[in-house]
Amino acid sequence: MSVLTRDEAQTRAQLLDVRRYTIELDLTTGDETFGSRTEIRFTTRTGADTFVELKPAELLSATLDGQPLDPETLDGNRLPLKNLTAGEHELRVEATMRYSRTGEGMHRFTDPTDGEAYVYTQLFMDDVQRVFAAFDQPDLKSVFELSVKAPESWTVLTNSVTDPTDGVWRAAPTPLISTYLVAVAAGPWHSVTTEHRGLPFGLHCRRSLAPHLDADADELFEITRQCYDRYHEKFAEPYPFDSYDQAFVPEFNAGAMENPGLVTFRDEFVYRSAVTDVERQTRAMVIAHEMAHMWFGDLVTLRWWDDIWLNESFAEYMGYQTLTEATRFTDTWTDFGVVRKGWGYDADQRPSTHPVAPEAVDDTASALLNFDGISYAKGASALRQLVAWLGEKDFLAGINTHFERHKFANATLADFIDSLAAHTDRDVHAWADAWLRTTGVDTLTPSVTRGADGTYTLQVDRTGSRPHHIAVGLYDLDVADEGRHLVLRERVDLDVPQAEPQPIGKRPTLLLLNDGDLSYAKVRFDPDSFDGVRTALSGLPEPLSRAVVWNALRDAVRDGELPAAAYLETARAHLPHETDLALVQGVLSFAAAQIAGRYLTAEERPAALATLSALCRDLIRRTEDGDHPGLRLIAVRHFIDVAAHPEPIAAWLADGTVPGGPELDPELRWRVLSRLAVLGATDEATIAAELERDPSATGQEGAARCRAALPDAESKARAWEAMFTADDLSNYLVAATAQGFWQPEQADLVRQYVPRYYTDAVAVAARRGPAIADVVGRWAFPVFAVDTETLRLGEECLRDSEPIPALRRKLVDQLDDLGRALRVRQETHQS
């Protein structure tokens, strides 16, 4: 299949204006394929040749201006349109299309709980071609008019309000939107509806999840209304579509997709089991993020994929900021600092890094690789820094000018910067060059000097070239509290690079750069401040300040400047006193997955797990009064994950509860059983019995994970066959199997599969495409094998095996992380 290049898209955009798509889909033709009829009305400015994209199971017919086209001329995914004359044209295409099992195109899922089938589209980037014929590029916007024939018991959702008649659901024509934003979701949905400000709102999920959606519907609608109202306070342009549906769909590859009028979410956000408040906050942030896209991406759309930051960075920033301003989740930037910031920092230090706004993305395959921590987290961090530097009033004025100039059209980075520049005297073009056109993470390091009068000055050294507007927190120990807490003396605003050293008075116990986390940079501590961190980190008064410190410690470990064991010691000392759930979750996750899992050797791992187990026990004891259920749930989950011996968690499973709570709901039961499988303390019969108890889609994934984790050669062989040879597992079941397969405790058992991984991953990615390539590159990589031979084999694969772009990118990143882990081990042992 040919990918679309930037040059081809520009040529076609100069040639065509696309007026209207009329699309008829028939979802009643069986479980494997569906019918697709497309009529495209377009005009050409001059006479020329071009092409339309389509990936059919079978192209049945095509006519251009009433004249038949030869279906045999379809070349891969391109149907040539020859000898076009200037003026109006009509293209009609009829095809049979395949349902997907990988979350691309029209995905079909059968719910194992009740046997009901559901389908939905994910047409992002170039997957619209799997559903209907299209001139598939974002700057050829058009009106779309859909009709969908569906089984009698089904409901059909689209971008617009739909009207069912005799089994055919007809949708109102859309405003001008891009091809990748067209959406259909069909099945026997359970729906909850309401209305807000005259606009219909809907929530939809599989019938088997109905009780769980009903339990959270009020919360979901409240978040939706609050964000909707706040965006209308910020934006002069009103919501541009005729309805707002949110469908929670199965086996979704992304977190969500911003289809106008019909946002699709992964249905793990319909919680079947107990969750923490920070998880509810994450769901709320995704709702806010996707709603922001109705303006950033849907109303005004990028012209080409080099400006994906205009979609994702803005939705990311607006999601967190609006949630903080409009909902009960008032501390979202701490979660951003803990989770998203690290994602951006990690991505920006790999060989695959790229600017937030790269100057050229050659084709759609390259563009797909840029949906990463840079386009989301780094871009949002850059915008937060821009607001701090520019001021929110001028920032919002520039945004509203941008909407006014480009609504229902397309725009570029230059267009956006021009809109901002109209409302400020600051040089936003220079800011964009420094922040959006460069790569890498700056590092800020303090230098404190004592003057002759006994007072101190601060000089901040910077590696990198970006200007930073930051706050510096000066903290002193609270002598009235025996030195356990820190008191903020002052926050000093500082521009880096500095014109001259900054006076700070007496020497603080802790000098914290980037306090408030308004910029995007790694920070370091001077020696006295590092002593203050180790003494009183948990005594910092604000969680966002503590997040900056924990991120600094994390970065220092990854850079080989802080021994991994020292991070564990700090966590052991301070995490039992932490109150912020995002921080507890983030620190435990990094300590377990990276420090115990990769940065320490196999011989050092048991002691690290024992430390983490003791830490979790402390948190469990601290929450026995029942006042902190979220904190207790996090501690219980992590205690299960790091258990070195089966007895305590096996007793929990047998009793159905943790002493003092919580009861073991399906998520916790599968988590315990998975760890017992790793430890060799369960068997196939027990897994089968648990699956009978929970036959849901999540139960199927839990069983696949457990079976792949069983420590015997036969189970590993079956799991490998399922992942890499059979080709019948869905995207989610491949991921679950991969998550169970590699275990540090089973290194000798699975070592033979390390060289096989590279050849088999390349082959399955070539057969099954980018979505499966992403899964096997992310989850099936042998992360436990931190050794030079694994690195050598991977480098050889990249050099000689020609993996498809989606897998190549994952391997480049995985091998860079592997090389980093080897360096951390070496530097730790040398020190």
Residue 345: phi and psi, rounded to 5, are -60, -45
**In Å, what is the CA distance from 831 to each residue of 561, 563, 566, 599, 825?**
10, 8, 12, 14, 10
Other CB atoms within 10 Å distance of the CB of residue 484: 12
Strand partners, 93: 38, 62
Q: Which of 121, 249, 135 is nearest to 182 (CA)?
A: 121
DSSP string computed for 314-377? HHHHHHHHHHHHHSS---HHHHIIIIIHHHHHHHHTSTT---SS-S---BHHHHHTT-STIIII
User: HSE-up of 574 (CA within 13 Å, CB side)?
Assistant: 27
20 in helix, strand or coil? Answer: strand
Q: Which of 398, 436, 435, 396 is nearest to 416 (CA)?
A: 398
Q: At what angle do helices 805-830 and 564-574 cross, to 10 degrees?
A: 90
Q: Which of 70, 58, 195, 52 is nearest to 133 (CA)?
A: 52
Residue 479 CA to residue 489 CA, distance in Å, equals 13
Copy the structure tokens of residue 31: 């479980």
Residue 666 CA to residue 690 CA, distance in Å, equals 9
For residue 510, the surrounding DSSP H or E stretch is: strand 510-512
Copy the structure tokens of residue 230: 């706040």
How do 443-450 and 456-463 pair as beta strands?
antiparallel
User: HSE-up of 57 (CA within 13 Å, CB side)?
Assistant: 13
647 carries an active-site annotation: no
497 in helix, strand or coil? Answer: coil
Strand partners, 51: 80
Residue 377 CA to residue 333 CA, distance in Å, equals 12
For residue 202, the surrounding DSSP H or E stretch is: strand 199-205
Instruction: Give the rounded distance of the alpha carbon of 145 from its chain centre.
Output: 31
Residue 105 CA to residue 183 CA, distance in Å, equals 10
How do 143-149 and 155-158 pair as beta strands?
unpaired
How do 162-165 and 168-171 pair as beta strands?
antiparallel
DSSP string computed for 141-169? -BEEEEEEE--TT-EEEESS-EEEETTEE
Copy the structure tokens of residue 51: 């092409």
SS3 content of the chain, % helix, strand, coil (to 5): 50, 20, 30
24, 39, 251, 290: the active-site residue: 290
Strand partners, 502: 458
Strands of 99-198 (E only): list them: 105-110, 117-122, 143-149, 155-158, 162-165, 168-171, 184-187, 190-196
**In Å, what is the CA distance from 221 to each residue of 159, 196, 246, 263?**
19, 9, 10, 14
Residue 100: phi and psi, rounded to 5, are -100, 150
- Find all residues with CB under 8 Å of 236, minimum gap 6, and list them: 400, 403, 404
Q: Residue for token digits 């006014």?
A: 404
Residue 542 CA to residue 643 CA, distance in Å, equals 32
Catalytic residues: 290
